Amino acid sequence: MATGKNIRTYYQGKWHDEDVAIMRAADHGSWLGTTVFDGARHFEGVTPDLKEHCVRVNNSARAMMITPTVLEDEMVEIVQEGLKAYSSDAAVYIRPMYWALEGDELAIVPKAGSTGFAICLEEIPMSDLSATSTLTTTSFRRPVLQDNVVNAKAGCLYPNNARMLMEAKSKGFGNALVADFAGNVAETATANIFMAIDNEVYTPIPNGTFLAGITRSRHISNFKKNGVTVHEKVLSFEDFHAADEVFMSGNMKKVTPVIAFDTTSYQSGPITKMARDMYWDWALSEKN
């Protein structure tokens, strides 16, 4: 089932005005889970950090032992061509993806150079600061590189995220604040996480258990350019209970205010608003 509407698919060298079937039953990606993707956004006439997302999907493919077949600049051109079919005010989710077609003699290892590629465009509205969420803990944790391909944006990682979300929702919360291997905060089930105390910003330091997102990096850069102190450090769940504000950072929604973590309540406050305002100001500056 599609998440958005007005779907277009780039597959086998051309754009299709539909949700095209792109995998076969015997494709390596279908039955052994070798799929990677990335997500960018187009809104208000801009497509911020598009090339960075294209670079990351190629890096994710290499981490999954899939041979990337499309250069980043070429991928950007394909996306820009596909976006011409949408209205000027459309908010579009951009998802380039690779999967392995064949395996080696034992089937398990993806065969070099045997790669499927597609790009999916879907209209999905952007949210504003009224779209808040709540957090709780989960019994599931982020894996480490020795266990899984945490250095890729890989489809095989998402069933773990899904059970985090299911557990959180069963407790009446919108998302889960997730621990790393050491029991410290890594991220949420769907996005990177920030908190603020006394007008300074804190976010978990990357430690190989989660992807430090492109949008996360953009927020850090924006805060620093505007004189806000940002700390990347080990953070505990107790640190989040002591925070003044908490917000999630991801490509899909950019900034999502968190208004509660278990029994602790937060305001959707000035730091969260600043993060969103600065992101929009930076993104829309591409029009100039």
Average pLDDT of the segment spanning 74-83: 98
In angstroms, the CA 94 to CA 144 distance is 28
**Domain extents for the chain?**
5-123, 133-287
Given pLDDT bands bounded at 50, 70 and 90, which one contains residue 91? very high
CATH class of 133-287: alpha beta
Whether 202 and 216 have beta carbons less than 8 Å apart is answered as no
Closest CA to 69 of 100, 38, 33, 107: 100
Percent of the chain clearing pLDDT 70 (strictly above): 99
At residue 286, the pLDDT reads 74
Q: Is the confidence at residue 205, as pLDDT, over 90?
A: yes
Residue 130 DSSP class = T
At residue 288, the pLDDT reads 58
In angstroms, the CA 261 to CA 138 distance is 12
Closest CA to 79 of 97, 60, 59, 61: 97
At residue 47, the pLDDT reads 97
In angstroms, the CA 110 to CA 64 distance is 8
In angstroms, the CA 281 to CA 270 distance is 16
pTM, two decimals, is 0.95
Average pLDDT, the chain: 96
At residue 41, the pLDDT reads 97
Q: Is the confidence at residue 14, as pLDDT, over 90?
A: yes
Q: Is the confidence at residue 1, as pLDDT, over 60?
A: no
How far does Cα 53 stand from its chain's mean position? 10
At residue 3, the pLDDT reads 81
Average pLDDT of the segment spanning 45-55: 97
Q: In this predicted model, what pLDDT tens digit does every residue of 223-256 receive, in sequence order?
A: 999 999 999 999 999 999 999 999 999 999 999 9
In angstroms, the CA 186 to CA 124 distance is 27
- CA 1 vs CA 4, 7, 174, 233, 250: distances in Å: 9, 12, 21, 39, 22
Average pLDDT of the segment spanning 105-132: 95
Average pLDDT of the segment spanning 68-83: 98
CATH class of 5-123: alpha beta
Average pLDDT of the segment spanning 188-197: 98
